């Protein structure tokens, strides 16, 4: 096993290293060098120690060679580590394990598995440390093979080996096998408990993960991070923030991974106050605002309604990568600042950053929100022609939205039919919404019939077609859609709006009476409607999909979730304070009109984030220009 050495020439005689080599006595030079290797912090320091080893003729010392090899691997100098390894004729299992571990540590998983196979071919029997190292490099199938070797050699009861196996099955999606290993462990370490939590979180069973998490006597930062991020990744941001507060109460210090998850949760909720508190925490606790944290802050501020703060953070990020640029471009697009988004895109290209598929989602969204049809077509065509990016369903969705809302329904429909992949229900829903906007009942019915017949219809399909029928006064059609929904077991997604007041997020459903201040909220609503009608407001009762009286329709419109949230914001904050609302659905035209008028009569700025975009209401006008 010889190779060209990257060090000054080392002259050695072949040495056989055995696992029974005794450690050097504490008073010896070799002991001191071994101690310094264990404490070494840099590759420069290791090279100095290596020079001393050579100078003092200790290059054949087995313990020092082993520690040198391990230290080089840890500092990503596998070439040096391999040279030391190759200097021995019959390296023992510890040397093999160290080299395997070094490759695993540096993400060279295939190389680690290859080394493991070589070790077996040389007749070296693996030990528990070998298995613990190589399992970190395994996918499910080779992991099963190694599992059989572990059983054969009797290491299955070792807690570290068993944890490694659990992790292999967890990463491979075999939850049942992972749980069987977990349940039969004689003792469960923090690592094994975290592995099982990670397994459940990865596969969407967050509640089962929380049961294990709650059973733990001790939790390290990794365990907290997995659980917090699990809630964030599975769209349960309130629980993510609640668990983060418990983490702080438990005196566990967050790290970069923690803040990335928490900032994402704040962004999902649109919780600007909590996001700003998190920003201050990061700055005050020595967490570096690198490109990853900076980008998460940009994303949080954009989703929480503060483009100004987002741009300040963006401008301060050093060595911006394309992900950072994408976050700011998408942020501008979702707020309807289309020209700012396109100008930033041009600047990004001028700095020779290669755009990604996410970049074009932002760019095409910006075109859609501003009705820039010609620009949108040009950017869409350039994706593959200029940048080799194959459009995904999201890009087609942006184009269908752009063309459909601008009235090019036939072109939008043809685009959908020519897609290389199957359109998803969201894309069909976008086209149906355009049919509703332009009153194209014939195309709307044709699309809806296709979706129903092919099992692709969702609640949005039926609601949008119901809207088309209702706008035309076709109540039989509306009733037929309700019957189809009922027969199909499809439930309409309820409208939900949230508002953050004093670092607490309050959620409202349509007609909600559960809030402690419901009485005051409805009193405020009555007062608002009295002033609105005095200003000439007329409820858009044609939006109500029930054949009922006008009074009942007005009452139904008047208690939409965003109106309740706005009323709560008015009674809970100081005059002049901006009110920020997050809604899970697209804001209806009546609520849009009402919110414009409320901003005028109260002198408040109201920011609403709906499913499609942000609306900034100021003095009776909306930033969308009524084009949404």
pLDDT digits (tens, 9 = 90+) for 485-533: 777 777 777 889 999 999 899 999 999 999 999 999 999 999 999 999 9
Strand pairing category for 579-583 and 606-609: parallel
Q: Beta partners for 606?
A: 579, 617
For residue 50 the two structure tokens come to: 């290596």
pLDDT of residue 12: 31
Kindly tell me if the per-residue pLDDT of 470 is higher than 90. Answer: no
Question: In whole angstroms, how far apart are CA 377 and each of 4, 314, 371, 411?
Answer: 57, 29, 11, 11
- Mean pLDDT for the chain overall: 89
Kindly tell me if the per-residue pLDDT of 16 is higher than 60. Answer: no
pLDDT of residue 425: 81
pLDDT of residue 530: 93
Kindly tell me if the per-residue pLDDT of 20 is higher than 70. Answer: no
pLDDT of residue 4: 36
pLDDT of residue 26: 55
Kindly tell me if the per-residue pLDDT of 369 is higher than 90. Answer: yes
What percent of the chain is modeled with pLDDT above 90?
66
pLDDT band, very low/low/confident/very high, at 548 (cuts 50, 70, 90): low
pLDDT band, very low/low/confident/very high, at 550 (cuts 50, 70, 90): low
The DSSP call for residue 544 is -
Query: Of the ranges 127-131, 254-258, 467-471, 619-623, which one carries the lowest mean pLDDT score?
Result: 467-471
Q: Beta partners for 609?
A: 582, 614
Three-state DSSP at 622 gives strand
Q: What separation, in Å, do the N-terminal and C-terminal C-alpha atoms of the chain show?
A: 69
Query: Of the ranges 16-20, 140-144, 398-402, 512-516, which one carries the lowest mean pLDDT score?
Result: 16-20
pLDDT of residue 543: 62
Report how far residue 556's alpha carbon sits from residue 550's, in angstroms, rounded to the nearest whole number. 10
> Using one digit for the tens of pLDDT, what is the confidence trace for 220-279?
999 999 999 999 999 999 999 999 999 999 999 999 999 999 999 999 999 999 999 999
- Those residues with Cβ within 8 angstroms of residue 606's Cβ, 6 or more apart along the chain or in another chain: 566, 569, 578, 579, 580, 581, 595, 598, 599, 616, 617
DSSP character string of 391-419: P-HHHHHHHHHHHHHTT-HHHHHHHHHT-
pLDDT of residue 30: 87
Report how far residue 624's alpha carbon sits from residue 15's, in angstroms, rounded to the nearest whole number. 77
Element (H, E) at 509: strand 504-509
Kindly tell me if the per-residue pLDDT of 545 is higher than 80. Answer: no
> 461 and 452 in contact (C-beta within 8 Å)?
yes
> 544 and 467 in contact (C-beta within 8 Å)?
no
pLDDT of residue 604: 96
Kindly tell me if the per-residue pLDDT of 124 is higher than 90. Answer: yes
pLDDT of residue 462: 79
Kindly tell me if the per-residue pLDDT of 110 is higher than 50. Answer: yes
pLDDT, greater one: 591 or 76: 591
For residue 521 the two structure tokens come to: 């909220």
pLDDT of residue 17: 39
> Using one digit for the tens of pLDDT, what is the confidence trace for 606-618?
999 999 899 999 9
pLDDT band, very low/low/confident/very high, at 132 (cuts 50, 70, 90): very high
Nearest 5°: the CA angle 304, 557, 505 is: 30
pLDDT of residue 546: 55
Query: Of the ranges 90-99, 125-134, 385-394, 574-583, which one carries the lowest mean pLDDT score?
Result: 90-99
pLDDT band, very low/low/confident/very high, at 159 (cuts 50, 70, 90): confident
At residue 504, φ and ψ (nearest 5 deg) are: -125, 135
pLDDT of residue 476: 83
Three-state DSSP at 606 gives strand
pLDDT band, very low/low/confident/very high, at 14 (cuts 50, 70, 90): very low
pLDDT, greater one: 363 or 94: 363
Three-state DSSP at 540 gives coil
Kindly tell me if the per-residue pLDDT of 347 is higher than 50. Answer: yes
- Average pLDDT, integer, range 58-84: 87
- Average pLDDT, integer, range 359-372: 96
Element (H, E) at 258: helix 256-269
Report how far residue 9's alpha carbon sits from residue 31's, in angstroms, rounded to the nearest whole number. 24
pLDDT of residue 613: 93
pLDDT of residue 487: 77
Q: Beta partners for 499?
A: 506, 581
Q: How far is CA 386 from the centre of its chain?
A: 29
Report how far residue 211's alpha carbon sits from residue 547's, in angstroms, rounded to the nearest whole number. 48
Three-state DSSP at 483 gives helix
At residue 218, φ and ψ (nearest 5 deg) are: -125, 140
Pinpoint the alpha helices (H) of 418-536. Answer: 425-437, 441-453, 459-471, 475-488, 518-534
């Amino acid at each position: 096993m010889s190779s060209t050495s990257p060090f000054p020439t080392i002259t050695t005689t072949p040495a056989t290293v055995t696992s029974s080599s005794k450690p050097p006595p504490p008073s010896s030079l070799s002991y001191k060098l071994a101690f310094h290797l264990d404490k070494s912090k840099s590759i420069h320091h290791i090279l100095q120690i290596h020079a001393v080893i050579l100078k003092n003729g200790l290059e054949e010392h087995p313990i020092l060679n082993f520690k040198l090899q391990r230290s080089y691997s840890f500092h990503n100098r596998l070439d040096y580590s391999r040279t030391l390894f190759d200097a021995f004729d019959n390296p023992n299992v510890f040397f093999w394990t160290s080299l395997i571990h070094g490759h695993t540590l540096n993400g060279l998983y295939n190389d680690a598995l290859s080394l493991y196979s070589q070790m077996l071919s040389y007749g070296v029997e693996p030990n528990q440390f070998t298995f613990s190292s190589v399992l970190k490099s395994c996918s499910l199938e080779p992991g099963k093979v190694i599992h059989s070797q572990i059983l054969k050699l009797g290491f299955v009861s070792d807690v570290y080996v068993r944890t490694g196996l659990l992790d292999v099955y967890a990463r491979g999606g075999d939850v049942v096998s992972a749980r069987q290993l977990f349940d039969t462990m004689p003792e469960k370490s923090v690592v094994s408990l975290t592995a099982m939590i990670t397994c459940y979180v990865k596969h969407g069973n967050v509640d089962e993960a929380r049961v294990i998490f709650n059973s733990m006597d001790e939790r390290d930062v990794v365990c907290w991070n997995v659980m917090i991020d699990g809630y964030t990744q599975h769209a349960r941001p309130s629980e993510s923030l609640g668990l983060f507060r418990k983490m702080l109460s438990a005196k566990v210090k967050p790290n970069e991974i923690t803040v990335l998850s928490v900032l994402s949760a704040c962004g999902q909720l649109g919780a600007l106050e909590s996001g700003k508190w998190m920003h201050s925490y990061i700055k005050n606790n020595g967490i570096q605002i690198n490109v990853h944290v900076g980008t998460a802050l940009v994303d949080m501020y954009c989703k929480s309604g503060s483009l100004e703060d987002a741009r300040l953070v963006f401008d301060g990020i050093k060595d911006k990568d394309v992900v950072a640029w994408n976050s700011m471009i998408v942020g501008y697009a979702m707020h309807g600042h289309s020209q700012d988004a396109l100008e930033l895109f041009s600047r990004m290209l001028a700095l020779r950053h290669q755009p990604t598929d996410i970049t074009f989602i932002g760019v095409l969204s910006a075109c859609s929100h501003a009705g820039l049809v010609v620009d949108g077509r040009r950017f869409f065509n350039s994706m593959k022609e200029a940048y080799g990016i194959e459009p995904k369903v999201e890009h087609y969705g942006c184009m269908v939205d752009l063309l459909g809302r601008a009235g090019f329904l036939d072109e939008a429909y043809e685009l959908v039919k020519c897609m290389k992949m199957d359109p998803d229900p969201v894309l069909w829903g976008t086209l149906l919404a355009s049919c509703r906007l332009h009153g194209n009942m014939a195309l709307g019915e044709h699309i809806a019939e296709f979706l129903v017949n092919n099992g692709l219809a969702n609640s949005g399909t039926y609601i949008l077609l119901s809207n088309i029928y209702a706008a035309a006064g076709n109540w039989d059609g509306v009733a037929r859609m309700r019957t189809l929904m009922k027969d199909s077991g499809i439930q309409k997604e309820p409208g939900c709006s949230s508002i953050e007041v004093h670092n607490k997020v309050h959620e409202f459903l349509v007609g909600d009476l559960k809030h402690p201040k419901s009485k005051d909220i409805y009193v405020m609503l009555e007062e608002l409607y009295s002033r609105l009608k005095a200003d000439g407001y007329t409820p858009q009762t044609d939006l109500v999909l029930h054949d009922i009286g006008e009074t009942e329709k007005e009452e139904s419109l008047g208690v939409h979730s965003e109106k309740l949230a706005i009323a709560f914001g008015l009674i809970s904050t100081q005059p002049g304070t901006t009110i920020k609302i997050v809604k899970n659905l697209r804001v209806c035209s009546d609520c849009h009109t009402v919110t414009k008028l409320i901003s005028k009569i109260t002198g408040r700025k109201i920011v609403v984030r709906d499913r499609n975009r942000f609306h900034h209401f100021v003095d009776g006008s909306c930033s969308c220009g009524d084009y949404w």
